[in-house]
Structure 1
């Protein structure tokens, strides 16, 4: 094979569009190749294919391949609550899936170190593999996810101090997320070390706060809003979970946790109200068996889809404006 034909053969490969420069000088082939978004296994395959093609070129004595990768700009969304038991993890799961159904490539991080639940909610016990000391997320219901629940035995308590928990979160965020455009981070309840580490090291693009309508939950939700406000992270909005219950037998509507409290609190704090998730036994049953309602597209998914649409609209607005309405609302929450 002649030199000219050989160099053209490199471009003819499936990976040809990734070749940024190619040169043959004194018997040495030098290639600069864009490997952005590829896993370690895919990078190895790409390098092997190029090496094999280059060896077929007449007069080649040595092959040098430089693989480069640009870090994709990902939108990081923190889902937080001031207290436990408000359905934050269920919202994180279904919100991630609802966003993915809009066409976005989404990753979900279960950062609830002491109470990981995403393996149950997503119905997957698959263990993540690792390449180059980085974890490879597992796929389920159209999204990729990582959870400490994949790495520890069921029911095993993690007696970790703050630095260990923060280090575990860093490994999950720095995993091989490939071409994921949005990362949804399911934070533990409260305003402690894990939240501070996420904010300081990864700087979320925005936070979604989850609360039930009752006053006690709203007090803690206000603290969560205050934390993100003090750390200059825009609060995208507040979600009211367990909002109203319709009896499946008589059809009567009741409000065991109150009604409208989160919407009123959002208005008082000057942040958007993203919507309500009803208290529904069907939602609980689907979550328990690892079939998130948002993945089905049925009636149970409508509330999550509506919240996802509002969230995406806020993100698009904030990216279009240097000082977005979301940031203005975050400023208002700090005043």
Structure 2
């Protein structure tokens, strides 16, 4: 691949005469400049991946970054509900206009394109992957430092399409203390390693509940295994998160941006550090 093609690959498409065989930029892509695309993945459902994606976005936004979320869980989208977004996605001659949260996070989800949020999405695999790629090509993301992709469970059609079609810069893995969750996340890690993106790190969610009276940590799902699992799979450990009823309450109310957590903020800083290290390696 020529030097010009390498630059184009980072943008997700090609816009030079020497790369005439590559797909041309859409109007939406020409109006967008996304610096880093990060997939948040678990392999297994039920580990709180969407909540982690949302709070990572909020923490990065609080650090002054411009952030967006692409909800690729087409049949089970939850991001708009978590942020309390009821505005439908708009359209212009240039592409789809993604609604923005109260804090300024751009969000695109299929739930922003259907009449009722609880209407089922009944689509076969090829149509689901078509919708996901449309969210990348036809949404006007504008200037973003980070676009987080909330991945669906599993390692099937959508995950394969995203890794093959989008310029994903890296992946964050989410697990929980159960041995079953760790077994499935190992499958996801092995899948990612079949492609090029580095794994920035592993987050262990729901590692404990903290007593509001005595601050004792109660390990309701057993002893945390995240740090050990990270070592076993040679992945950086970004940190452990508690099971916090306040986060659930605010998410149900669509007010996740009101949630304060030093744990999330520290994990976001750890993530930014791993991204920086990965970028330094690529430049070496």
Q: Does 1:166 find its partner at 2:166? A: no
CA offsets 1:253-303 (integer angstroms, 9 cap, x no match): 3111122211111101111011111011111111111111xx3473xx211
Map of 1:178 onto structure 2: 142
Q: Does 1:311 find its partner at 2:240? A: no
8 Å CA contact 2:32, 2:141 repeated in 1: no
Based on CA coordinates, which of the two structures has the bigger radius of gyration?
Answer: 1
Q: Among residues 120, 144, 155, which one is paired with 1:157 in the alignment? A: 120
8 Å CA contact 1:97, 1:142 repeated in 2: no
Query: Matched residues in 1 for 2:65 and 2:213: separation?
Result: 39
Query: Matched residues in 2 for 1:93 and 1:317: separation?
Result: 23
Pair 112,297 (structure 1): closer, same or farther in 2 beyond 3 Å: closer
Pair 252,310 (structure 1): closer, same or farther in 2 beyond 3 Å: closer
CA offsets 1:220-277 (integer angstroms, 9 cap, x no match): 1111111101112211111000011123356443111122211111101111011111
Q: Does 1:126 find its partner at 2:87? A: yes
Q: Does 1:194 find its partner at 2:154? A: no
Q: Does 1:211 find its partner at 2:175? A: yes
Q: Does 1:227 find its partner at 2:227? A: no
**Structure 2: segments with no counterpart, 5+ residues:** 1-26
Q: Among residues 104, 113, 118, which one is paired with 1:142 in the alignment? A: 104
Q: Among residues 238, 247, 255, which one is paired with 1:274 in the alignment? A: 238
**Structure 1: segments with no counterpart, 5+ residues:** 1-38, 41-68, 325-335
TM-score (norm 2): 0.84
Pair 251,75 (structure 1): closer, same or farther in 2 beyond 3 Å: closer
CA RMSD of aligned residues (A): 1.9
Q: Among residues 220, 225, 229, which one is paired with 1:261 in the alignment? A: 225
8 Å CA contact 1:111, 1:187 repeated in 2: yes
User: Relative contact order, CA 8 A, sep 6+: which one is greater?
Assistant: 2
SS of the counterpart of 2:100?
strand
Query: Matched residues in 2 for 1:250 and 1:311: separation?
Result: 30
TM-score (norm 1): 0.72
CA offsets 1:97-145 (integer angstroms, 9 cap, x no match): 1111111111111111110001110011111111226211111122111
Query: Matched residues in 2 for 1:236 and 1:213: separation?
Result: 19
Query: Matched residues in 1 for 2:283 and 2:185: separation?
Result: 25
Give the number of aligned pairs.
254
Map of 2:262 onto structure 1: 302
222-231 or 252-261: bigger deviation: 252-261
Where do 1:29-48 residues align within 5 Å? none
Query: Matched residues in 2 for 1:263 and 1:276: separation?
Result: 8
Map of 1:7 onto structure 2: none
